[in-house]
Amino acid sequence: MTSIYVRRRALAITAGLSFARRMAAGFLVWAILSGNNVMAASIPRILVAFGDSLTAGYLLPQDKGFVPVLEREPKARGLNVTVINGGVSGDTTSDGLARLDWTIPDGTQGVILELGANDMLRGLDPAIPRANLRDMLTKLRERRIAVLLVGMKAQRNLGPAYVTAFDSLYPDLAREFKVPLYPFFLEGVASEPSLSLQDGLHPNAQGVEKIVSNILPQVEDFLASLP
């Protein structure tokens, strides 16, 4: 049963409008009175997956990378979602910071931020990706673009001090900026050779499917949280 509040909200939309404008607002009023499902399905959502080769789909067919597979799933559920591939193979967080402003187009509602793996592989001081990611989160907040932060984990042969400093930067930043965190992009894939390319670092097509399956519930929650 439609609540009194919702009916008042619908009436408020048309109050004071001319007859022609009331007619134009008719669909919106009907959608409010009949519930939010139609509206939610029809509202376009634009996300940018901003990252490195893991986002870009390194050595995979165009339709098998992280972005197209991720976009496919919400669309199959009737959501109007566009996911832009903002991944560049080899990028460090410094590279990402340098191109952030022109890579994220106006109209973007959310960013899936996945960077830091190449900083770690190069053995860079974890203070560097921490500072760069903080600057990126600050810039995106200033543009009022929501962020889902995606974490990475350091290779254990880098030593306990490095592992602790690197692994902690993602949850620390998520708390600082009050953004959702997906803790580890390669969860369930990094330890499975059958899900990785021969280099042992990047997911194969089956690995991407696993990654998307794991992260999808959080991405859908992220989409639902967008204004």
Smallest CA-to-CA distance from 152 within 52, 69, 36 is with 52
Smallest CA-to-CA distance from 128 within 174, 58, 136, 90 is with 136
- Give the Cα separation of 167 and 158 in Å (integer): 12
- Give the Cα separation of 125 and 129 in Å (integer): 8
Q: Where in the chain are the domains?
A: 4-37, 43-225
**Residue positions counted in the chain:** 227
Q: What is the pLDDT of residue 18?
A: 44
Residue by residue, pLDDT tens for the chain (227 residues) are 334 333 444 444 344 444 444 444 443 333 334 444 444 556 889 999 999 999 999 999 999 999 999 999 889 888 899 999 999 999 999 999 999 999 999 999 999 999 999 999 999 999 999 999 999 999 999 999 999 999 999 999 999 999 999 999 999 999 999 999 999 999 999 989 999 999 999 999 999 999 999 999 999 999 999 98
**Cα distances (angstroms) measured from residue 27 to each of 6, 15, 21, 79, 181:** 15, 15, 11, 19, 37
- Give the Cα separation of 35 and 1 in Å (integer): 10
Q: What is the pLDDT of residue 42?
A: 63
Q: What is the pLDDT of residue 43?
A: 81
* Residues 6 or more apart whose Cβ sits within 8 Å of residue 45: 79, 80, 81, 82, 109, 110, 223, 226
Residue 123 sits at φ, ψ, to 5 deg, of 70, 25
CATH homologous superfamily of 43-225: SGNH hydrolase (3.40.50.1110)
Q: What is the pLDDT of residue 41?
A: 57
- Give the Cα separation of 52 and 142 in Å (integer): 23
Q: ∠ CA(187), CA(190), CA(193), 5° rounding?
A: 135
Extract the tokens encoding 97.
């910071």
Q: What is the pLDDT of residue 79?
A: 87
**Active site members:** 53, 199, 202
